[in-house]
Chains A and B, each alone.
Chain A
Amino acid sequence: MAIGWYLAVSAFIFCIGAAGVLTRRNPLVVLLCLELMLNAGNLALVAFARMWGNGDGQIFALIVMVVAACEVTIGLGLIVAMYRNRLPIDVDELRELRG
């Protein structure tokens, strides 16, 4: 398959994830949509690595996976802390930064 097909799929997934981040209100689902966007970037990176026949893009994709795992850990920790403090699990309700 031509590389352009992979890039088109990657663009589709990225835009679905971006629309999800903007529309959904549950922070868990917002985190899932961020995962979608990171995975779309990963697909584009691996496709470009195949295009050049060079392994550097795959290393970049692995590092992106590490960063995504860190982001998930911190985000889920925040959600658990919100739940413990009896805060609403809704990004529209959590508008104040004042702690």
Chain B
Amino acid sequence: MAEVVFFIAALAAIAGAIGVVMLRNPLYSVLALVCHLVALAALFLLLRAEFVAAAQVVVYAGAVMVLYVFVVAYVGGADEPLRGPGPGGLRVVGPLTGALLLVELLIATLGSGLQAISAEGAPYVSGFGTPARIGELLLTKFLLPFEVASFLLLVAAVGAVILARRRRGLDEDQGGGRTGPLDIPRPVETGTMAESVGTRGA
């Protein structure tokens, strides 16, 4: 029974990953990633990581993916040609690098000759991977990483607000003057990022 569930979930996870890379529309890529995450949560359940699986579904496939969908809807998911103009060498080198990395990783893991890799794992102890056990570890042995992670989340939230805030109103947008925190009118051709790529002030 576990073998059947494993193969279904593993195939769904790999198919979702391929869908993320191959689909043209970014919105469909996000939906493929949701499928991938749910399949991965099933694999976590097979590995007796119940809390991690629940967090994966609730936090990742729920909250983070909603953020992605919002940004895709905001930016507008324009269809991108998979093999458009551009440096042609990278179109070949990218997948080739992935294939070589796969060969190397498979040799490193499966060819290592470790006895434990071909076994089922340690005998199951009741309570392994439950929220109680994870919470106990987080608040005793891993208290410092837990606090640092919460601080990192705070830093990321503040950083995202500062990055994505509206720097100028819609009406002043054509003037091209105001940038920077001090709201000082800035003359054109003074080296803003928009001018450097030729979209404004040229």
Contact = CB atoms under 8 A, between A and B. Distances in A.
Contacts of A31: 68
Given A53-B121, A81-B164, A88-B197, A74 B21 contact: no
A72 B109 contact: no
Interface of B: 2-3, 6, 10, 13-14, 17-18, 20-21, 26, 29-30, 33, 36-37, 40, 43-44, 46-49, 51-52, 55-56, 59-60, 63-64, 67-68, 71-72, 74-75, 77-78, 80, 84, 86-87, 90-91, 93-95, 97-99, 101-102, 105-106, 109-110, 116-125, 128-129, 133-134, 137-138, 141-142, 145, 149, 152-153, 155-157, 159-164, 166-167, 191-194, 196-197, 199-200
Contact of B197 (A15, A81, A96): A96
Given A32-B29, A59-B138, A50 B74 contact: no
Contact of A23 (B90, B118, B156): B90
Contact of A73 (B121, B129, B159): B159
Contacts of B197: 87-88, 93-94, 96
A99 B186 CA distance: 14
